[in-house]
Amino acid sequence: MDRLKITLLTAFVSALLFAPAAFPQAVSAQAASAQALAAKVEVISGNGQLICPACPYKPNVLFFSPMVVKVTDANGSPIAGKTVTWGVVTSTGLPPFFEITTSTDNNGLAVSRLSQGTIQGGNAVQPFLQSVISATADQASVNFTETLALSDSNTGIVIVLSRFDGPIDTGLKGPAGSTGTVPIQIHVDGRGTPVPGVSVRILSPEVTLAGVVMLDPTKPSASCATGPGADPGSVLTDSNGNATCYPVFGSVAGTGTVSALVGGLDPIEFDQSITTQPLLNPSAFDEYASIQLVVTPVAPSLINVVSGNNQNVNPGQASAPLVVQVTDVTGRIPIGNQTVAWTVLSGAAIVKPVASKTDSLGQAQSIVTFSPNATGPVTVRAALTGIYNGISKDFNLSTTVLILSLAKVSGDLQTTQSGQNFPSQLVVQVIGTNGQPLSNQPIGFAITDGAATVSASALTDATGQARATVTAGLTPGSVTVRAFIATFSQTFTLTVIPPGPALSSGSFFNAGGLNRIGALSPCSLVTVIASGLAPNVQGMVFNNNPFGPWATFLASDTVTVGSVAAPIYNVGKVNGTEQLTFQVPCDTALANAVPITISVGGGTATITFPVVAASPGIFETVMSDGVRRGVVVRPDGTFVSLKNPARQGDVVRVFVTGLGTTIPVVSTGALPAPGSDALIDFTRLIVGVDNGGTRVVSARLSPNLIGVYEVAFQVPSDAKTGSDVVLSVAINVPGDVSADGKQVTRFSNGSKLPIQ
């Protein structure tokens, strides 16, 4: 991404700073929909991470993984579409970057991706940087603690260390399903300074089956009894840097070894579906391996039905899985690795497999297939074998009546973009000879013509209906789908149109600095990076008229914010990555969810995004040493460079976007009136040099650059000298307040300024 950002920034800044244009627009606002009130926000994964970019021998802890929460209502049900706001509670040094607002999916899960910006050197006084980040939905919230280990500024040696305090000789031992009394103890500090909020978890033997990481069902396992605020199955270090993990033993008895992971994550406890940043392997700041584990067996005493009983099955068809669970006498401790034998006691049917082993949840399953001439009830017994063969449970199933018809209910004649799901599922209904809908009927679905995929089969529900989701292929055109059971069938005709861009909340970047943003602001310049933006473009396409307004249609692309067309600066590919830069219409109203639609040819994509009062971003260029630094002009009109640094006491100008509306107001795509300035109240601006404020002289919209502001400030006479002095810009816009009524300060990217 750094190499990509350097290339994009160089092309963008050099072209943008010398391309005047003007084009006015207008826009309207849109309100967000009401939702159920959030009663609880709980940590799912990502709390307690300890990363170390200065540790090349620990490649799994170079970056943060996403933070994931679950939002539920007063009844404990997940809330979909709920806005979750992420904010810094406390932070040492520069806080990490993360998405400020995200929304929950259908499972109530919301994710905020996390990345660390400029990393400073450490010392004995500051051995690490740590941020506490809150996730809030309505009045409910939870905190994440994320830590960055620093290396000594002089020696380069990492200052933060962990220590394994036990058990040294005893290992972990206890009955399956119970909680141990001897804990794993870990201490984390940086030269005597305790590091709180670091996760500790147990890594048990795992296998990958059908692409899913899971516990090895044949080996003993354990996990930490979850601590307050920690990821499930982990604990956090306390204010003294100590973590105490009491093991909860799995259901499989045996002897083996486990590891203790410090400051990391385990794929088995990580929801891979919630984010585009998959966790394929365990990550850890430290790992203490070969901890002895002895899980003693618990005698099986009960076998209970989990699902599949009392089914109605068509003659010649297979049942839904019959699932049982084997437990101890209390029914609370599942027992794994037990053989369950399946037998048809009565009725015309066969069972397969005839024997299966219980997994880590103590569950085993089999499937019954009715004979084509089956009638009446079928009884199947699930029983333990060997010395426990007296423990069993029976399933009672019935033969359904015959099918009278298969009807098409809905989903026909739909249209969608290639690569996308069709908006509605295909729905058919099965009616029996008794005139009633038939449940548990397996309906087959198949593509008979065109480019698409569809789920192979689905069972009818209590209303006799079965549903299938169809995903369009890459080739536009007509698609035919056949739904069938026995001799009955129905045909659906669908249409695939060209694809739209693959937009997500992570596709939007501030054109100044190209940092990923969580909100837009009026008049700002925004770069979108996503596949599908320029499928037939080679290189970059700019406006044909270099002295006119920016077009709202470029390389077959259009952008609308709300319902207003946005001026487009460029569209194209850089190193194979597709991108588009546009100006947010200046009259865009502030809101939590403004629809942004990008059309490419015949395909479109829409995403909602917050719009706030300002989103500062410092334009950067790549200097002779390959490092990105701010675009700054000295008093004599020359650009600051390594050979031409700013001087102490100079009044210089930095180029910024995203400072909001001006006085007088300038329209979308327009420049200030000739001979006059469009000003920003510079008393609202904060310019930071070497993390300290300095005098702001003026701030105005550039007279010849659309969406670009010039901020003049004085380099402090005692400013730190060097090639990489930290430079930043922030703004306080009147009326820009948080939910609790406090003034919000909007910060730019942290850039760099050479000073002599």
Q: What is the token pair recorded at 87?
A: 């904010």
Residues 290 and 313 in one domain: no
Q: For 249-271, what is each residue's pLDDT tens digit?
A: 998 889 999 999 999 999 887 66
pLDDT score for 332? 84
In whole angstroms, give the CA distance from residue 649 to residue 428: 77
Mean pLDDT of 152-180: 91
Q: How many CA atoms within 13 Å lie on the side-chain side of 266?
A: 26
In whole angstroms, give the CA distance from residue 68 to residue 222: 23
Task: Give the length of the chain.
Answer: 756
Lowest mean per-residue pLDDT among 273-282, 442-451, 523-532? 273-282
In which region does residue 113 sit, left (phi positive, over 0), alpha (psi from -120 to 50) or beta (all else)?
A: beta
In which region does residue 556 sit, left (phi positive, over 0), alpha (psi from -120 to 50) or beta (all else)?
A: left
pLDDT score for 271? 65
Mean pLDDT of the chain: 89
Lowest mean per-residue pLDDT among 4-13, 285-294, 392-401, 723-732? 4-13
Q: Give the three-class secondary structure for 246.
A: coil
pLDDT score for 473? 92
Residue 124 has pLDDT above 60, yes or no: yes
Q: For 680-689, what is each residue's pLDDT tens digit?
A: 988 899 999 9
> Is the residue at 214 inside a domain?
yes
Lowest mean per-residue pLDDT among 24-38, 106-120, 497-511, 608-622? 24-38
Note if the bond before 664 is cis, omega within 30 degrees.
yes
Query: Domain boundary residue among 359, 374, 399?
Result: 399
Task: Map tokens 């090349």 to a residue.
Answer: 56
Residue 460 has pLDDT above 70, yes or no: yes
Residue 546 has pLDDT above 80, yes or no: no
Residues 252 and 355 in one domain: no
pLDDT confidence bin for 742, thresholds 50/70/90: very high
Residues 230 and 275 in one domain: yes
Q: What amino acid occupies position 294?
A: V
Structure letter (DSSP) for residue 105: -
Top pLDDT among 349 and 154 is at 349
Q: For 48-59, what is each residue's pLDDT tens digit?
A: 999 998 876 665
> Is the residue at 232 inside a domain?
yes
> Is the residue at 387 inside a domain?
yes
Cα–Cα nearest to 288, from 386, 201, 400 = 201
Residues 354 and 286 in one domain: no
pLDDT score for 536? 78
Per DSSP bridges, beta strands 363-370 and 349-352 are antiparallel
Task: Map tokens 């045909």 to a residue.
Answer: 491
Cα–Cα nearest to 654, from 597, 716, 612, 714 = 714
In whole angstroms, give the CA distance from residue 565 to residue 550: 11
| Residues of the domain holding 167 | 160-296
In whole angstroms, give the CA distance from residue 428 to residue 255: 52
Residue 300 has pLDDT above 70, yes or no: yes
pLDDT score for 375? 62
In whole angstroms, give the CA distance from residue 442 to residue 432: 14
Q: What is the CATH number of the domain that holds 211?
A: 2.60.40
Residues 319 and 195 in one domain: no
> Is the residue at 680 inside a domain?
no
Query: Domain boundary residue among 384, 399, 414?
Result: 399
> Is the residue at 681 inside a domain?
no
For residues 260 and 203, the answer to whether their CB atoms sit within 8 Å is yes
pLDDT score for 434? 66
pLDDT score for 60? 66
Top pLDDT among 591 and 476 is at 591
Residues 308 and 381 in one domain: yes
In whole angstroms, give the CA distance from residue 230 to residue 45: 8
Burial class (CB in 10 A: 0-12, 13-18, 19+), 621: buried
Q: What is the token pair recorded at 393?
A: 């449970």
In whole angstroms, give the CA distance from residue 328 to residue 316: 37
pLDDT confidence bin for 418, thresholds 50/70/90: confident
Most confident of 15-19, 352-356, 549-553: 352-356
What is the helix (H) or strand (E) element at residue 293, kind and residue range? strand 286-296
For residues 678 and 664, the answer to whether their CB atoms sit within 8 Å is yes
> Is the residue at 273 inside a domain?
yes
pLDDT score for 24? 34
pLDDT score for 5? 34
pLDDT score for 199? 98
The number of distinct structural domains making up the chain is 2
> Is the residue at 613 inside a domain?
no
Residues 314 and 285 in one domain: no
Residues 322 and 277 in one domain: no
Q: What percent of the chain has pLDDT over 90?
A: 71
For residues 628 and 726, the answer to whether their CB atoms sit within 8 Å is no
Count of Cβ atoms closer than 10 Å to residue 742 Cβ:
8
Q: What is the token pair recorded at 272?
A: 């891979």
Strand partners, 520: 611
Mean pLDDT of 498-511: 90
Q: For 59-102, what is each residue's pLDDT tens digit?
A: 567 889 999 999 999 999 999 999 999 999 999 988 899 999 99
Residues 171 and 287 in one domain: yes
> Is the residue at 532 inside a domain?
no
Q: What are phi and psi of 178, to 5 degrees?
A: -100, 170
pLDDT confidence bin for 29, thresholds 50/70/90: very low
Structure letter (DSSP) for residue 153: T
Query: Domain boundary residue among 399, 419, 436?
Result: 399
Q: For 205-250, what is each residue's pLDDT tens digit?
A: 998 887 788 889 889 999 999 999 999 999 999 999 999 999 999 9
Lowest mean per-residue pLDDT among 119-123, 215-219, 378-382? 119-123
Residues 288 and 388 in one domain: no
Q: How far is CA 713 from CA 113, 272, 716, 744, in A?
A: 34, 47, 9, 22
pLDDT score for 713? 97
pLDDT confidence bin for 701, thresholds 50/70/90: very high
Residue 402 has pLDDT above 90, yes or no: no
pLDDT score for 168? 85
Q: List strand residue ranges (DSSP E) for 297-402, in order.
A: 302-307, 312-313, 322-327, 339-346, 349-352, 355-357, 363-370, 377-384, 392-399
Lowest mean per-residue pLDDT among 136-140, 207-211, 354-358? 207-211
pLDDT confidence bin for 34, thresholds 50/70/90: very low
Q: Give the three-class secondary structure for 31.
A: coil
pLDDT score for 26? 35
Cα–Cα nearest to 247, from 196, 299, 294 = 294
Residues 185 and 245 in one domain: yes
Q: For 643-662, what is each residue's pLDDT tens digit?
A: 999 999 999 999 999 999 99
Residues 254 and 307 in one domain: no
pLDDT confidence bin for 417, thresholds 50/70/90: confident
